[in-house]
């Protein structure tokens, strides 16, 4: 099982063409190649698709312009505050699972659109006893 996951990770990252971007410095071919194929964006998307650990790795790499190009660092920097939110159905399931019967009070007033989504959790607004509150819900597959 682990070997299969390692192959998934490797081929997911390899398919983005990212290894061409780890060559630091000016190279006209790579610049053209990068513009044509949008490698940086593909790599960022692959990091998001691979899960929270890889999002954190992407966030770390975004601060290391001594390792990656400035363009890639900028693209990965979006993982810091522009992560993809998970579907509301997952949020609803998590609330029911963790709050039990108390969850219905939140579910009746929760806004299905998140206020923010980060690498490990996302935040939703809800009303309770005439107060506006927020709830932070952990993303899937985090134990």
Structure tokens at 104: 């219905």
Range of the domain at 53: 2-81
Q: Is residue 52 part of a domain?
A: yes
Last residue of a domain, one of 32, 55, 81: 81
Coil, strand or helix at 102: helix
Q: What are phi and psi of 67, to 5 degrees?
A: -110, -45
Within 100-134, where are the H helices? Answer: 103-107
pLDDT number for residue 40: 83
State pLDDT tens for residues 54-105.
888 999 999 998 888 788 888 889 888 778 888 999 988 888 888 887 778 7
9 & 50 share domain: yes
Would residue 143 count as lying in a domain?
Answer: no
pTM of the predicted model as reported, rounded to 2 decimal places: 0.62
- Is residue 113 assigned to a domain? yes
Query: Do 110 and 74 share a structural domain?
Result: no
């Amino acid at each position: 099982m682990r070997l299969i996951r390692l192959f998934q990770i490797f081929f997911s990252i390899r398919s983005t063409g990212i290894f061409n971007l780890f060559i630091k410095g000016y190279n006209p071919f790579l610049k053209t190649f990068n513009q044509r194929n949008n490698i940086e964006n593909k790599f960022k998307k692959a990091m998001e698709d691979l899960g929270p650990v890889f999002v954190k790795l992407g966030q770390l790499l975004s601060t290391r312009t001594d390792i990656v190009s400035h363009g890639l660092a900028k693209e990965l920097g979006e993982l810091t505050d522009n992560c993809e939110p998970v579907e509301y159905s997952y949020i609803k399931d998590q609330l029911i699972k963790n709050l039990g019967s108390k969850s219905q009070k939140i579910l009746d007033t929760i806004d299905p659109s998140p206020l923010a989504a980060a690498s490990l959790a996302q935040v939703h607004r809800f009303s309770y006893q005439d107060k506006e509150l927020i709830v932070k819900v952990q993303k899937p597959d985090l134990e």
